[in-house]
Amino acid sequence: MFYLRSKYKNDGYAVWFMLLEELGKANHHYLDFKDETQIMFLSSQMMVTEESIKCIIEDLVKLGEFDFDFWNDGIIYCQKFTDSIEDAYSRRSNNVLHKQGLRDHLIGLGRIKPLSTSNKGSKNPQSKVKDSKVKKSKEDIPTYSEFKEYALSKKPNVNIEALQFKYEAWKINGWKDGNDNQIKNWKSKLLNTLPHIKEQADKFHPSEAPVQNLLT
pTM: 0.51
Inform me whether the pLDDT recorded for 207 exceeds 80: no
Tell whether 91 and 170 lie within a shared domain: no
Report if residue 121 sits inside a domain: no
Tell whether 92 and 33 lie within a shared domain: yes
Q: Which residues, 6+ apart, have CB-to-CB distance to 66 below 8 Å?
A: 57, 60, 76, 77, 78
Model confidence band, residue 89 (pLDDT cutoffs 50, 70, 90): confident
Question: Total domain count for the chain?
Answer: 2
Report if residue 142 sits inside a domain: yes
Tell whether 102 and 148 lie within a shared domain: no
For the chain, give the percent of residues with pLDDT over 70. Answer: 81
Tell me how long the chain is.
216
- pLDDT tens digits along 134-171: 454 555 789 989 999 999 999 999 999 889 888 888 88
Tell whether 57 and 93 lie within a shared domain: yes
Tell whether 26 and 97 lie within a shared domain: yes
Q: Whole domain around residue 71: which residue ranges?
A: 2-108
- pLDDT tens digits along 178-203: 888 899 899 999 999 999 998 987 55
CA 20 to chain CA centroid, nearest Å: 31
